[in-house]
Structure formats: structure tokens, C-alpha cells
Structure 1
Amino acid sequence: MSSNLSKCFILRFLFLFVIVVNFIPTKVYCNLKIALFGDSLMAGYGLDDRFHLSTVLEKRLNEKGFDVEVINASVSGETTTGGLNRLNWLLEKREFNIVILCLGANDMLRGINPTLIQQNLDKILGILKEKNINILLAGMLSQEIYGEEYRNKFDKIYPELAKKFKISYLPFLLEGVALNPEYNLDDGKHPNAKGIKIVSRNLEKKLIPLLKQ
């Protein structure tokens, strides 16, 4: 009789142990550094720090079990030329596991030749690749202010580079946000706090598979 009770107790203990272990939250990776390398669209323009993309994205990833730090390395008004010029300086200051790259919007608004934009982004991606940093390229779409020819050339930049470098790619950073007053500041260009949550979700769809590699 005591033998049966002992067996029953052991089985119950093992059953409860398995359940408890399965419900213990675990970190998928430890202390990964993710850099947001872009312009005002990722820098938190017009927002309190707690609503910055870096803050929101880090919090959401932590809640999903990823031990990551998201660093805001974006600069409002940045162009691809400016980004290229400061990239090496940034990489000398900090080490990153992943860089989320989204530059080109300001170039487009200034009517800069798409060929030059692509050349700059190509050089940026080459530098990151040489340093074995994982990359998520977030694309932009051209407005129609410079005509169809310009728009077609600009919109091809990001998919072509993603294919060339074989990197993770989000076709449009502002998917679900652009042109929607509910998700933008009064200027109609920059995401508000609601919009940032959507941008974060857009990035997470591509970033989480990259983190799990």
C-alpha cells in the first residue's frame, strides 16, 4: 500500500514539475544590442521619450522573452549621405548585433537622384556586412511630387538591395500609418504614439525571425 502511495506521489510530483517548467518565462537570447539607424521617422520626432520607437520596440520584445536593448541611433533630418558619413564613427563607439536601417526619405523629399541614394545605402550595407552585423532593411516609398519616373526608380532601391545583400527586408516602414491622420502628428508626416506602436509591430514581424536565427 505504501509502495503504491509513493509511486502516486512521485508521478504527481513529476507531472507538476513538467507543468511548472513549461510555464517559466525564458529569455530567447541574452543582451542583444539592436540599433535603429535612420532619420526622424525612427528617432522619435515630436514625441516624449517613452513613446520613442526604441523604447516601445524594446519593451515589446522584452515582453516576448527577448533580452534585447534597442538603441536610438537615428538623427532627425538624416540623409543617406549623412548616415554613411557617421556610420563608422557610430560602430567605433558601440557594438551592435543587429542594425535596423531606414534611410532615404529625406533624400527623396529633396529630390536627390535615386542612383546616389542607392549607392550610399549600398555602401552602408557593405560596411555592416563586413562587420558581420545582422541587418533589417526597412524600405520607404516615394511620393508623387517628382513624377512617375522618379518614383519608379526610388521604389526599386530597397528590394534590389535586399536581394543583393540577402538580408531581412520590410518593404515599407510606415505600412498602416502613412497618410492616416489618426496615427500621425499634426504635420501629417511623423508617427504619433499610436502610429509608433504600429511601426513597432511592422518591424517585429521581420525582426523576431532574425532574433531566432
Structure 2
Amino acid sequence: MLCLLLELSLPQAYAGENSPLQQQTILIVGDSISAGLGIDKQQGWVALLENTLLQEYPQYTLINASISGETTSGGANRMQTMLEKHQPSIVILELGGNDGLRGTPTKLITKNLTYMINLSESMGAKTLLLGMRIPPNYGQRYSELFAQQYTQLATELNVTLLPFLLEGVAGEKGMMQADGIHPTEEAQPIMLKSVWEILKPMM
């Protein structure tokens, strides 16, 4: 009887005060921009995101499965294996840039992205799609179709979208490496800020 009274007298919040938060995983599937090509990887936006999670959401583990040179076809081929292995609650999808630079038909890019998004969602993961833009190497029409596909996908599949990962970075002095494709270390906090503002409400 005494034990029961003691239990009832404890503050309601006490029971869960020391309960560990349920561990969850964020999986990033991207290319060289997320792999940190040409910079100290510890200064890349993904590493900065990991530091932010450690401080604000320690229950989240970050897995960066990004590969330099990766295409949407490559990502699609390994997507199921990654999902089964890591069982993420959120997938950040940053692919398509290399396809666009090679002039891959946008219908194929869209098909691959759709497959990855649908597979992620079917396995219980929310998707954050990071949009990209490319220079008009294959004509203005192709560049426009390439950029538009991200918005169309997000609308049709009802997923969260960051329209352009390099907003405030591309074309800005000191923000791009000599190749004009990959962002510098100085650009990484800007990219993190853009991603974090959209990712945080998903958590």
C-alpha cells in the first residue's frame, strides 16, 4: 500500500523524465555536392547538419550515402538495399545534377526519382527532395524542364521540396569552386540553413 501511494504521489512527468528518446535515422542519398567533393568533408553541409542534430535532436542518426558522380539511375539501383539496411524515418534525396550535366532525358530522371521516392514512402520514410538547376549546355528548354521536374514531382507525390539547394550560392562570388559546379566551404553554412529550415518541421 505504501509503494502504491508513493507511485501516485510522484509528478506525472517524472515517469518519462529519464526515458531515452526513440532513435531515428536520416538517410542522405546524393552526389558530389553532398559528398563534399573538393572541400574538407567536415565542413560540408552534411557534416554541419550532423553537428546540428547532435545539439538539437540527438535521437537522430545521420547516414550519408552520397557518392561523387552518382546519377539517379545509380541511386535507384541501390535504394532498396540502403532503405532495408538503415530503415530511415527521413530520406533526403539530392540527385539529378549529374544526369542533367550529361543531357539525360528528363523523363528518365523523373522516372528514377519517382521510384526512389515511392520506395522510401512505402517503407515508412518521409522524403525531402532537394532540387537542382543546371546551366543551359543543352539549350534553355532542357534546363527549364530539368528544374521544373522537381516541383512537379513534389506536387504529384506530395513530398517536401527545397526548390534549389544552391540558392544564394550559385553564381555568387567566392561561393563556387573553380569548376563552377561545386560549392566552396564558405557556401556550406548557407546550404545547411536552407535545408534545415525545411527539414526541421519534418522531424
Global fold match (TM > 0.5): yes
Q: Which residue of 1 aligns with 2:4?
A: none
Q: Which residue of 2 aligns with 1:148?
A: 140
| Counterparts in 2 of 1:195 and 1:30: CA distance versus 1, 3 Å | farther
Contact (CA 8 Å) 1:54, 1:71: kept in 2 or not? no
| Counterparts in 2 of 1:187 and 1:152: CA distance versus 1, 3 Å | closer
Post-superposition Cα deviations, 1:82-120, rounded to whole Å, max 9, x if no partner, equal 110111121232221111001110000001111111111
Query: How do 1:188-207 and structure 2 match up within 5 A?
Result: 188-207=180-199
Post-superposition Cα deviations, 1:161-190, rounded to whole Å, max 9, x if no partner, equal 101111111000111111224122232221
Q: Which residue of 2 aligns with 1:53?
A: 45
Q: CA RMSD in A?
A: 2.2
Counterpart residue identity of residue 166, structure 1: N
Q: Which residue of 1 aligns with 2:75?
A: 83
Q: How many angstroms does 1:198 deviate by? A: 1.0
Name the TM-score, length of structure 2 as normaliser.
Answer: 0.85
Post-superposition Cα deviations, 1:124-149, rounded to whole Å, max 9, x if no partner, equal 11111111101101101131111122
Secondary structure (helix, strand or coil) at the match of 1:118 reads helix
Counterpart residue identity of residue 120, structure 1: N
Distance 1:195 1:61 in 2: 19
Range that drifts further, 128-137 or 44-53: 44-53
Q: Which residue of 2 aligns with 1:68?
A: 60
Secondary structure (helix, strand or coil) at the match of 2:92 reads strand
Q: Which residue of 1 aligns with 2:13?
A: none
Secondary structure (helix, strand or coil) at the match of 1:37 reads strand
Counterpart residue identity of residue 163, structure 1: T
| Counterparts in 2 of 1:148 and 1:184: CA distance versus 1, 3 Å | closer
Query: How do 1:128-139 and structure 2 match up within 5 A?
Result: 128-139=120-131
Q: Which residue of 2 aligns with 1:118?
A: 110
Secondary structure (helix, strand or coil) at the match of 2:174 reads helix
Query: Size of the alignment, in residue pairs?
Result: 187
Name the TM-score, length of structure 1 as normaliser.
Answer: 0.81
Q: Which residue of 2 aligns with 1:19?
A: none
| Counterparts in 2 of 1:152 and 1:54: CA distance versus 1, 3 Å | closer
Distance 1:183 1:48 in 2: 15
Distance 1:124 1:65 in 2: 26
After the TM superposition, list the runs of 4 or more consecutive aligned residues in structure 1 that deviate by more than 4 angstroms.
none
Q: Rg larger in 1 or in 2?
A: 1
Distance 1:40 1:205 in 2: 22
Q: Which residue of 1 aligns with 2:91?
A: 99
Distance 1:153 1:38 in 2: 20
Counterpart residue identity of residue 94, structure 2: C
Distance 2:166 2:189 in 1: 11
Query: Percent identity among equivalent residues?
Result: 38
Contiguous gaps of at least 5 residues in structure 1: 1-28
